[in-house]
Amino acid sequence: MGIQWTGLVGDVGGTNARLALVDPQGHIRHPRSFSSRDYPSLAAVIAEYLQATMGRKRPPRAVIAVAGPVVDGEIEFTNLDWRVSEGDLISEFGFEAVRLINDFAAQAVACPLFDGADLRALGPNLGRGAHDCPIVALGAGTGFGVAALARSPRGDVPISAEGGHAAFAPTDEVEVAVWARLRERYGRVSIERLLSGQGLYDLYVCLAEQAGKAPELADEMAVTKEGLVGDPLAAATLDRFGAILGSVAGDLALTYGARGGVYVSGGIAPRIAERLAAGPFRARFEAKGRLSDYVQTIPTFLVAHPYPAIVGGARLLEQMGRL
C-alpha cells in the first residue's frame, strides 16, 4: 500500500509554479517547479503534477499560495491570464477542501518554524522576539510582498496585505530626487516601484543620473552581479536598496507592532545577503525618531529556506486536517 498523502501544497506566481505533496508526518515530498507561462491554467499544472506523482489518485486537500490578493476564495493573476478559484479546483480534482492564500501570508505562517540554517540575523542577536506578539514577513522579487501573523494561545492567524502598494517615503535628498524621477515616469510612487527587480534597476538608473553618468548595466541581474564584485555605482545601488528595505521594514514593524520579529525573504535579499547584513539595513530599520527605542528591541532575520510559502502551506494543511 502506498503513502496516504495528507495533501497538495503549492506556491504559484507569474514566473514559477511550485508544487509538492505532504506526507502524514508533515514532511514535504516530491517538490517540482513549473514555468507558469508554459501552461494555460493552474489546473493544467496541477493535473500534470498529480499524474506524474500519484497517477489517478488524489490527495484529500490542497493549500495553494498565490502571488496576489485572494478575494472570496478567488484570485485573478496580474502577470498571467489565469483566474483561479477554490471551488473550481474542488470541482476539477475532487478535493475535499482547498484554500488559496496570499504567498506572503503563507510565508508568515512558516516563519515560527524556521531555525538554524534557514535563518540569518540581520543586525544584533535579539533572540526570536516576543512569542505572543505579531510577526511580519516581507520581501522583494518581481514585486514587493507583505503579510503579518497574529499569535495567540488559540493559534496563529495570517493577515494578508498589499503593503507593497503603499506610498514610498523618501528619507534624504538622494531619495527625494529618486522619488521625483519615478513620479515623472509612473505617477504615484509606491514601495514596490523601488523594492522589486524593476525597482532595483530603476534605482540604479536614477543614481547614475544623479552622478552624471550613463547607466552601463542592462538589467537588475547585472546590477546585482556587478555590485557584489565591486562596481561602484552598482554597489551603491545595492546599499541604497538595502537602506530603503530597512526603512520600509521598520515602518511595517511599527504598523503591525511586530515585536515577534520581522522576516525578510523574496528573490532579491538572499542573493545580496552579505551586503545586506553589512550595510545600512538595520540602521535604517531602527531610525524611527521617537519610536527608535521600540524598534531596537525587534529582531530582524533573512529567511534562507528556498520554499518558505510551501512550508507555510504544509502547516496550514495540517491545521485544515484538525478542523
Interatomic CA distance for residues 237 and 252, integer angstroms: 22
Residues 6+ apart with CB under 8 A from 40: none
Q: Is 115 annotated as a binding residue?
A: no
> Do the beta carbons of residue 37 and residue 45 sit within 8 Å?
no
Which cell is 242 given?
538595502
Q: Which residue has the cell 540604479?
A: 204
> Do the beta carbons of residue 283 and residue 242 sit within 8 Å?
no
How many CB atoms within 10 Å of residue 240?
Answer: 22
Interatomic CA distance for residues 313 and 322, integer angstroms: 15
- Residue 224 CB-half CA count within 13 A: 19
Interatomic CA distance for residues 235 and 159, integer angstroms: 35
The residue among 58, 143, 47 whose CA lies nearest residue 102 is 143
Assign 304 to helix, strand or coil: coil
Which cell is 146 given?
507583505
Interatomic CA distance for residues 241 and 204, integer angstroms: 9
How many CB atoms within 10 Å of residue 186?
Answer: 11
Q: Is 11 annotated as a binding residue?
A: yes
Q: Is 142 annotated as a binding residue?
A: no
Q: Is 10 annotated as a binding residue?
A: yes
Interatomic CA distance for residues 304 and 115, integer angstroms: 10
Annotated binding site: 10-15
Annotated binding site for ATP: 10-15
